[in-house]
């Protein structure tokens, strides 16, 4: 006859603390949102460290980014990478909408975490992925979060369109040569001189590559403090804002939150004499005519992407150090 003896578990062996991380996100970089982010970060760090059975595994966050695209959220991607490296056992976040506003992304990440035996707790919904009998509830709540995001986006687009129409839209991030002062575009004198030189050099026959190389050699920083590239120079020459005019809605976001160049799919709005000009309309037109002529000589017309992608690996190899694209 078989004899079965129960061997009691040794609780002394189960003393390893649960490594708990938290994820926070705010969608805009406004002062109010950043204050909210700091409050979330402080809350979760204290909350995790106050539990004796938990070990603080880090706090990951994204500020000023939308939750509709995970590819643009470095904090979230860093957390997922650390999960794969086995550094995290459990994750806490405020709500599904803070974690992801895209149903597909949300389910994909939760499934990936479950495969790694890592659970995530959504505080607002009181939902623990480790206690779910099915994905139905998560799918429903994720869909609600995504629908809410679409509704917010549509309301924002409507409000923005009204500002386009009445000319009250504020350009929060002006191009190189300008700054935003109390909602108005104001010329930055030293940068304006660089812009004038770029247009003058273009008209004398210098290529965008030669101009960018010269600016880098002179140690002049670009708009974001980075290096100048031919694409940056091309963008300045083709930007109508340097004439004092503004064209609104040159790009748009579709229902899937993907950004597109507006080739006439939606209305555009031209505002003349919106701000002080750096370049005259005549000089602007002549410089752009030069660029178009060079494009025709290369056989690609106005389609620069055709030139940049003429070979199999053009635009597809990225430098691991500076992030530049190899052409």
Of the candidates 233, 266, 232, the one whose C-alpha atom is nearest the C-alpha of residue 248 is 266
The DSSP H or E segment spanning 261 is strand 259-261
| CATH of 16-146 given 2.40.50.140, 3.40.50.720, 3.40.50.1390, 3.10.450.50 | 3.40.50.1390
What separation in angstroms does the CA of 159 have from each of 120, 146, 156, 169?
36, 20, 5, 10
CA atoms within 13 A on the CB side of 74: 2
Whole-model pTM: value is 0.49
Q: What's the pLDDT at 148?
A: 59
The distance from CA 183 to its chain's CA centroid, rounded to whole angstroms, is: 23
The pLDDT score that the predictor gives to residue 67 is 44
Domain(s) labelled CATH 3.90.1750.20 in the chain stretch across: 170-326
Distance linking the first and last C-alpha atoms of the chain:
78
From-to residues of CATH 3.40.50.1390 in the chain:
16-146
What are the contacts of 189-193 at 24+ separation with CB within 8 A? 192/278
At residue 31, the pLDDT reads 56
The predicted pLDDT at position 12 comes to 43
Point out the residues of the chain with pLDDT beneath 50.
Answer: 11-13, 67
Mark out the alpha helices in 95-226 (DSSP H runs): 96-99, 103-115, 136-166, 189-203, 208-217
Please tell me the predicted confidence (pLDDT) of residue 21: 94
Residue 323, Cβ density class (10 Å: 0-12 exposed, 13-18 middle, ≥19 buried): exposed
pLDDT of the residue at 54: 93
Query: For the domain bounded by 170-326, which CATH number is listed?
Result: 3.90.1750.20
* Residue 82 confidence (pLDDT): 94
């Amino acid at each position: 006859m078989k004899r079965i003896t129960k061997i009691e578990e040794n609780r002394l062996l189960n003393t390893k603390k649960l490594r708990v991380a938290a994820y926070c996100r705010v969608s805009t970089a406004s002062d109010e949102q950043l204050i909210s982010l700091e409050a979330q970060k402080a809350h979760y760090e204290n909350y995790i460290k106050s539990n004796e059975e938990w070990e603080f595994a880090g706090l990951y966050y994204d500020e000023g980014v939308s939750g509709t695209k995970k590819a643009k959220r470095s904090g979230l991607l860093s957390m997922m990478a650390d999960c794969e490296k086995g550094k995290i056992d459990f994750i806490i976040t405020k709500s599904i909408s803070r974690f992801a506003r895209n149903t597909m992304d949300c389910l994909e990440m939760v499934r990936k975490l479950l495969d790694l035996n890592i659970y995530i707790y959504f505080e607002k919904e009181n939902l623990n992925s480790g206690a779910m009998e099915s994905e139905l509830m998560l799918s429903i709540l994720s869909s609600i979060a995504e629908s809410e995001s679409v509704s917010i986006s549509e309301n924002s687009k409507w409000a923005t369109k009204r500002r386009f129409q009445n000319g009250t839209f504020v350009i929060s991030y002006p191009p190189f040569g300008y700054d935003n002062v109390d909602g108005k575009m104001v010329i930055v004198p030293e940068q304006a001189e660089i812009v004038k030189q770029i247009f003058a050099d273009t008209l004398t026959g210098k290529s965008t590559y030669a101009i960018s190389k010269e600016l880098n050699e002179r140690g002049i920083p670009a708009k974001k403090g980075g290096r100048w590239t031919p694409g940056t120079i091309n963008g300045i020459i083709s930007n109508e804002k340097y004439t004092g005019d503004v064209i609104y809605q040159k790009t748009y976001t579709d229902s899937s939150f993907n950004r597109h160049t507006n080739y006439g799919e939606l209305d555009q709005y031209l505002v003349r004499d919106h701000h002080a000009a750096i370049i005259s309309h005549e000089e602007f037109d002549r410089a752009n005519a030069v660029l178009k002529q060079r494009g025709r000589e290369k056989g690609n017309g106005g389609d620069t992407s055709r030139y940049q992608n003429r070979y199999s690996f053009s635009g597809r190899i990225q430098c691991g150090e500076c992030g530049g694209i190899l052409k």
